[in-house]
């Protein structure tokens, strides 16, 4: 089987006229991050072949993030891409660990976590104490402004020099996780 | 439960979660009260380093302080958030 070239992975990015700068920097960032990405897939998941699909997830998320930001360089893009990639690896690892139950009923009974530890596992899935750990600094600051100072998104946007839509879009992933954790629905469509 | 345009409910629930899950009675790693006050009054002027990064997402005491400081801000200067 032919091995995947990092450049093959760029297809996941949709192109829009105002974000044409994104593809070249992401492509360069992928090339830079690729050797380490393969190594991580190998050491963390035991399967280097998983690297392409996880990198595709990271590319998609990076492109979404960049679509709301001002143009940045390859080095910074690679940092963001690597962060999203490591997140994808962690999620994959967690999902794999949950599925690995083998053996007899007795053994499985012994191995099955208690209801409490299962609850902990679910809670850990959306551990709000760590929710911002992988968030880029500008968006982390924006989230803290909402949490700590209760600045409106409009004020956060004004303070960070971004549009309100851009800042909300940037923080969307984190806000969605908080909503999910507490069963809160997002605002309905504007009438 | 449907949230508003500012995701107010989500952030209120998050705050309640921090209060419930992250007691820090010894105030380990807390920014100073003055820093928290500046953050509430002029959030953009206080950076992540001053806040000890995401510390407030894991500290009941800081979140309680911030609540109090916001209350003082909102009662003493009702028009503190103004259009530029």
DSSP notation for A4-33: PPGGGGGGGSPP-GGGTTHHHHHHHHHHHH
Strand partners, A185: B2
pLDDT at B62: 97
Strand partners, B72: none
Contacts of A144 in chain B (CB under 8 A): 43, 48, 51, 54, 56-57
pLDDT at A67: 79
Average pLDDT of chain B, as a whole number = 89
Going by C-alpha positions, the residue among B10, B84, B24, B79 that lies closest to residue B56 is: B24
Partner A contacted by B1 (CB < 8 A): yes
Euclidean distance between CA atoms A153 and A142, whole angstroms: 8
Q: Is A182 within 8 Å of B13 when comparing Cβ atoms?
A: yes
pLDDT at B49: 94
What are the boundaries of each domain within chain B? 8-74
Cα A171–Cα A175–Cα A178 angle in degrees, nearest 5: 150
Partner A contacted by B57 (CB < 8 A): yes
Can you tell me the ipTM of this complex? Answer: 0.88
Partner B contacted by A42 (CB < 8 A): no
Instruction: Specify which of A13-27, A72-86, A98-112, A136-150 reaches the highest per-range mean pLDDT.
Output: A136-150
pLDDT of residue A120 exceeding 70, the answer is: no
pTM here?
0.55
pLDDT at A105: 53
Euclidean distance between CA atoms B43 and A32, whole angstroms: 36
pLDDT at A140: 93
Q: Is A132 within 8 Å of B51 when comparing Cβ atoms?
A: no
The residue in chain A having the minimum alpha-carbon distance to the alpha carbon of residue B44 is: A159
Partner B contacted by A95 (CB < 8 A): no
Residue B2 DSSP SS3:
strand
Residue A126 DSSP SS3:
coil
- Within 13 A of A141's CA, how many CA atoms are on the CB side? 19
Going by C-alpha positions, the residue among B69, B70, B54 that lies closest to residue B22 is: B54
For residues B44 and A63, the model is more confident at B44
For residues A42 and B80, the model is more confident at A42
Q: Is A128 within 8 Å of B70 when comparing Cβ atoms?
A: no
pLDDT of residue A96 exceeding 60, the answer is: yes
Per-residue pLDDT tens over the stretch A127-139: 787 888 888 999 9
Average pLDDT over residues B29-54: 96
Report the percent of chain A where pLDDT is more than 70.
75
pLDDT at A185: 84
Euclidean distance between CA atoms A169 and A172, whole angstroms: 5
What's the pLDDT band for B78 if we cut at 50, 70, 90? Answer: low
pLDDT of residue A77 exceeding 80, the answer is: yes
pLDDT of residue B11 exceeding 80, the answer is: yes
Average pLDDT over residues B70-78: 84
- CB-nearest to A150 from B1, B13, B70 is B70
Average pLDDT of chain A, as a whole number = 79
Instruction: Give every CB contact of residue B45 below 8 A, 6+ residues apart in sequence.
Output: B38
Residue for token pair 């504007």: A190
pLDDT of residue A122 exceeding 60, the answer is: no
Cβ-contact B48, A137 below 8 angstroms: yes
Q: Is B21 within 8 Å of A129 when comparing Cβ atoms?
A: yes
pLDDT at A123: 47
Cα A7–Cα A8–Cα A12 angle in degrees, nearest 5: 105
pLDDT at B2: 77
Euclidean distance between CA atoms A178 and A17, whole angstroms: 33
Instruction: Specify which of A12-16, A23-27, A29-33, B28-32 reaches the highest per-range mean pLDDT.
Output: B28-32
Partner A contacted by B78 (CB < 8 A): no
pLDDT of residue A124 exceeding 50, the answer is: no
Average pLDDT over residues A122-150: 83
Average pLDDT over residues A177-184: 87
Cα B27 to Cα A14, B64, B81: the distances in Å are 47, 12, 30
């Amino acid at each position: 089987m032919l091995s995947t070239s990092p450049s093959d992975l760029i297809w996941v990015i949709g192109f829009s006229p105002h974000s044409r700068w994104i593809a070249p920097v992401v492509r360069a960032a992928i090339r830079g991050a690729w050797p380490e990405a393969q190594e991580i897939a190998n050491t963390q998941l035991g399967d280097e072949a998983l690297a392409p699909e996880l990198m595709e997830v990271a590319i998609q998320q990076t492109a979404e993030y960049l679509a709301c930001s001002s143009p940045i360089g390859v080095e910074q893009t690679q940092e963001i891409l690597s962060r999203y990639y490591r997140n994808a690896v962690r999620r994959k690892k967690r999902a794999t660990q949950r599925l690995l139950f083998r053996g007899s009923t007795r053994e499985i009974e012994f191995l099955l976590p208690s209801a409490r530890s299962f609850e902990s596992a679910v809670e850990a899935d959306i551990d709000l104490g760590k929710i911002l750990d992988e968030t880029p600094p500008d968006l982390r600051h924006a989230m803290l402004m909402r949490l700590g100072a209760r600045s409106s998104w409009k004020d956060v946007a004004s303070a960070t020099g971004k549009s309100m839509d851009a800042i909300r879009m940037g923080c969307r992933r984190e806000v969605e996780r908080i909503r999910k954790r507490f069963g809160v629905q997002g605002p309905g469509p504007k009438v | 439960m449907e949230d508003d345009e500012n995701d107010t409910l989500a952030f209120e629930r998050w705050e309640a979660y921090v209060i419930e899950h992250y007691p820090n009675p010894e105030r380990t790693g807390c920014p100073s009260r003055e820093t928290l006050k500046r953050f509430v009054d002029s959030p953009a002027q206080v950076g992540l380093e001053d806040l000890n990064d995401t510390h407030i997402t894991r500290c009941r005491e800081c979140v309680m302080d911030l609540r109090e400081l916001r209350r003082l801000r909102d009662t003493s200067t009702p028009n503190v958030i103004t259009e530029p």
